[in-house]
Amino acid sequence: MLEVIGLACSRNDVVLFSNLSFQVAAGVAVQLRAANGSGKTTLLKTIAGLLPAAVGKIAVHGSLIFLGHNANLHPTLSARENLAFLSTLTPSNSKITNQQLDQALAFCNLTQQRNTPCAELSAGQRQRVNLARLYLSAAKLWLLDEPFANLDQTAQKLVLQLCAKHLSNTGALLVASHHEVIMPEAQLLDLEKYA
């Protein structure tokens, strides 16, 4: 699903990591463990194709979805409206119906908040709207940057549930997290080894 060979990335002339090679096959989850500022966001963005790879090769087979730090949610639009817009931007099996949007929000325990402007939602609730995007997505490769941020125990379990379902559907997963929450069966990749 994803192959990285000999990748080096720098930011503002500081080399973040070099000679990084790894693979993520279908049905496999890889957790990137690294401290803040060590380049995990840069790595994810480079894999997604948003940043150019100066040295090395990246091969992605299949569609991908990238969920960054930013919740991408416009403060004036409601959770549902934001979800509807963002879902059109990522691969999905068919045109998303209103019913599916409501289903996704229900899964993330946001049914009551679906018409609330995102400015009024808490950080945890906003992060859960992001999760709803994952629920609706048909992308094969998930690139997640700090998906557990701002989430309580229940919500973290939701993330793990979503990921498990994705993996069993032959999806692949690359998660960057400095959190202690380690996903079961995830391979660990320590970015600092390549600094």
Partner 1 sequence: MREVNSIPMMVLKRDLCIYMRHKGEVLTVPLFFVIIVSLFPVAFGPLPSELNWLIPGIIWIAALLASLLAQEHSIRTDYHLGIFEQLLLSDYPLSFILFIKTFANWLVTGLPLVIITPLLALSFAIPSQTIIVLTGSLLLGTPLLSLIATLGVALTLTLPRGGLLLSVLILPLYMPVLVLGTAASILATQGLNSSGPLALLAALTLAAILLVPLALSTLLKVSVT
Pick between residue 71 and residue 186 the one whose CB is nearest to partner 1.
Answer: 71
- With b for 16 or more beta-carbon neighbours within 10 A and e for fewer, the 60-95 pattern comes to beeebbbbbeebbbeeeebbbbbbbebbeebebeee
Cα–Cα distance between 156 and 148 in angstroms, integer? Answer: 6
- Letters for 49-88 (x = contact with partner 1 by CB under 8 A, - = none) are xxx------------xxx-xxxxxxx-xx---x--xxx-x
Least distance from partner 1 to the Cβ atom of residue 66, Å? 6
Tell me which stretch binds partner 1 (CB under 8 A): 28-36, 46-54, 151-159, 182-190.
46-54
**Torsion on CA atoms 40, 118, 92, 21, rounded to nearest 10:** 0
Pick between residue 71 and residue 176 the one whose CB is nearest to partner 1.
Answer: 71
Least distance from partner 1 to the Cβ atom of residue 11, Å? 8
Q: Cα dist. 64→50, 60, 135, 161 in Å? A: 12, 8, 14, 19
Pick between residue 30 and residue 48 the one whose CB is nearest to partner 1.
Answer: 48
Cα–Cα distance between 129 and 105 in angstroms, integer? Answer: 7
- Subset of 2-21 contacting partner 1 (CB under 8 A): 11
Q: Which of 14, 36, 93, 168 binds partner 1 (CB under 8 A)?
A: 93
123 binds partner 1 (CB under 8 A): no
Burial category of 56 from C-beta neighbours within 10 Å (exposed 0-12, middle 13-18, buried 19 and up): middle
Closest CA to 142 of 113, 106, 177, 111: 177
- Give the count of residues interacting with partner 1 (CB under 8 A): 30
45 binds partner 1 (CB under 8 A): yes
97 binds partner 1 (CB under 8 A): no
Least distance from partner 1 to the Cβ atom of residue 2, Å? 15
Contact 181, 7 (CB under 8 A): no
**Which residues contribute to the site for partner 1 (CB under 8 A)?**
11, 45, 48-51, 64-66, 68-74, 76-77, 81, 84-86, 88-95
